Amino acid sequence: MKLEDFLVEHQDLIEKLSAIEHERWAHWQRYVHSNCIENYDGSLTIPRELVKKWEYQMNTEYKYLSEEEKDSDREQVMRYLPLLFPIYKK
């Protein structure tokens, strides 16, 4: 099946997954903003310890993350499972 045909045939699934992705992104942004320092001009500064932590995570393959860090990624995957596998229920 060509990609174009797949996209047309699965447009509803793509939209549902896109909505979940937006929710995931918005959740992350709220988390980041809640951990930043608001400056006088409305800009945000990420604390040094979080910059170091997130840089480490960005540059580390999943298999080398701690179980706690992996759990955070697993939690996000759980948002997608019901759409990918309709038989799966939370």
pLDDT on residue 88 = 57
- Residue 32 has what pLDDT? 96
**Residues in Cβ contact with 50 at an 8 Å cutoff, skipping those fewer than 6 apart:** 35
pLDDT tens for residues 63-88?
999 999 999 999 998 888 888 887 65
| Tokens, residue 31 | 């988390």
- CB-based contact 65:57 (threshold 8 Å): yes
Half-sphere exposure of 7 (CA within 13 A, CB side): 4
pLDDT digits (tens, 9 = 90+) for 17-66: 999 999 999 999 999 999 999 999 999 999 999 999 999 999 999 999 99
What pTM value is reported for the model?
0.76
Which whole-number Å values give the CA distances from 1 to 17, 53, 85, in the listed order?
20, 42, 21
